[in-house]
Amino acid sequence: QEDTKQRILSESLRLFSEKGYDAVSVAEIATAVGIKAPSLYKHYKSKRDIFDSILKKMSEADSNFADENDMPNIDGGYERVMIESIRSFSIDMFKHWTCDEFSARFRRMLSLERFKNPEMAELYKNYISSGPLDYMIDVFVGMNYSLDSAKQLALSFYAPMYLLYTVYDESENKEEIILLAEKHINNFIDNLKEKSQ
């Protein structure tokens, strides 16, 4: 039962990330999973229920990810964040949104839907665009940079990563894009360490 429930989530997200949420029917999801539509309703009440479960799973993954990387996932606590934590967290975050199949599909679904659906636009903002940027601004302010400097640093740091998500999706050589992102992060953090000594 749990396996079928999980397969429904995975196949739904795959379809949503390829066609968009609105374009996918419950019958199509059931076919992709290899069950009949009435059987799907034993696990989820509706397509919206499936989507809410995807959101819940993504939110939990995001929170666990922050905990594992010793980064504060709520306001406050930024002072404790050391430069090296930013390095490892950022490399892992880039891989999370590109290499992890569930997270990458979630990101692509939001990318596809954000111009049509205000809720998806808000999720995209929080997870992919201004959310991470604002987070980095707070981190740099917590490291005693002025707000102006923190904004510039955050932009210089995150803008290439944001661009590389799209480049990754379009690239034949995905490993090369991962290395490019790692190189950018390493260079940025090394320069930051030099300046702060």
Residue 120 maps to a domain: yes
In this structure, are 137 and 191 located in the same domain? yes
In this structure, are 51 and 93 located in the same domain? no
Residue 127 maps to a domain: yes
In this structure, are 38 and 74 located in the same domain? no
Per-residue pLDDT band at 77 (split at 50, 70, 90): low
Would you state the pLDDT for residue 193?
A: 83
Is the per-residue pLDDT at 15 higher than 70?
yes
| Structural domain harbouring 111 | 69-196
In this structure, are 29 and 73 located in the same domain? no
In this structure, are 50 and 73 located in the same domain? no
In this structure, are 14 and 109 located in the same domain? no
In this structure, are 28 and 87 located in the same domain? no
Give the pLDDT confidence of 108-149 residue by residue, as tens digits: 999 999 999 999 999 999 999 999 999 999 989 988 899 999
Would you state the pLDDT for residue 67?
A: 75
What's the CA gap between 64 and 91, in Å, rounded? 16
Per-residue pLDDT band at 80 (split at 50, 70, 90): very low
Residue 138 maps to a domain: yes
Would you state the pLDDT for residue 72?
A: 53
Higher pLDDT pick, 66 / 72: 66
Residue 60 maps to a domain: no
Q: Number of structural domains, the chain?
A: 2
In this structure, are 49 and 83 located in the same domain? no
Give the pLDDT confidence of 39-58 residue by residue, as tens digits: 999 999 999 999 999 999 99
In this structure, are 143 and 105 located in the same domain? yes
Query: Structure pTM?
Result: 0.88
CATH of the domain at 29: 1.10.10.60
In this structure, are 76 and 44 located in the same domain? no
Would you state the pLDDT for residue 171?
A: 96
CATH of the domain at 159: 1.10.357.10
Give the pLDDT confidence of 149-197 residue by residue, as tens digits: 999 999 999 999 999 999 999 999 999 999 999 999 999 999 988 877 6
Residue 64 maps to a domain: no
